[in-house]
Homo-oligomer: A and B are copies of this chain.
């Protein structure tokens, strides 16, 4: 069984690279890292019912399992190269594996990622992917380089994935507004949840300008909190500047939108800081790459992340939404 499934994965995730000296089929892969580069490595696990709804299509799962890992490489400014895949399945469902491989392979082809190893096991559905990328020594983007006076940016738009997740949860009273939206609006939101775009080109463009970078997976404020903590600074975010897609604008009012944008998670955009003097370069360069970027705040003395109203007062999350702090 296992052998046949591996064959399916090999055939459908068919990127080949000269730096793969020996791929799938031995005890381990043999790889030739490019001379004079550092290796960037990360892993993420997706568990059924925890990280994705049980009804997720295998093709979308294959895409997303690779995408969330490539997003981590993007946040480091690394160029992707090799992946390993540990796929645990309740049974040897050939069709499921074919669809999974097609989704994984589609994204792998876009970024020339070769599948060099893995393991297929029987058990509750879960996927662990490991990706490797390259970066020139000392040029990787990290979380710990923000300085007071830097400005804060985010690529693309925020909140769509969290909105789509609500749409899938029929117990959520706010889901009704998504259900009643036009089909193309619903589809646009769902695509952001099921097929996130790792911002590889944006990460590469930021290597020489960003002082810190992270991908937005837990939610914008939580993720900026990691930059603030590692850099030893505070961050202020202007609520009105958070970018929204036209789909999100069409379905949610301002309060609902803000909750999704600031805390929703699963966006896989890049949040980063850069010197104020470089702001116009950043905005121009990322616009030319298609993702775009929006200036959303600044790095200040102190610690933690504060979300601000236009009048400068702080907004905090309550159980039912966002309100002014006391």
Contacts and interface: CB of A to CB of B under 8 A. Distances in A.
Interface of A: 21-22, 25-33, 35-36, 38-45, 47-51, 72-73, 75-76, 78, 82, 84, 86, 88, 116-119, 121-124, 126, 128, 130, 132-133, 135, 137, 140, 142-144, 213-215, 230
A26 B130 contact: no
Contact of A30 (B40, B44, B119): B40
A117 B132 CA distance: 12
Contact of A119 (B32, B117, B128): B128
Nearest to A44: B119
A317 to B, nearest CB: 19
A76 B43 contact: no
Contact of A41 (B29, B35, B135): B29
A51 B86 CA distance: 14
Given A27-B215, A126-B126, A140-B22, A88 B47 contact: yes
Contacts of A21: 38
Interface of A is mostly: strand
A82 to B, nearest CB: 8
Contact of A78 (B28, B72, B118, B130): B28
* For the complex of A and B, 5 pairs with smallest distance between CB atoms: A47-B123, A28-B42, A27-B75, A124-B124, A27-B72
Given A50-B121, A128-B119, A143-B26, A86 B32 contact: no
13 contacts: A21-B38, A22-B140, A27-B143, A28-B75, A30-B140, A35-B36, A42-B117, A43-B117, A45-B121, A50-B122, A50-B123, A88-B126, A123-B126
Contacts of A25: 143, 230
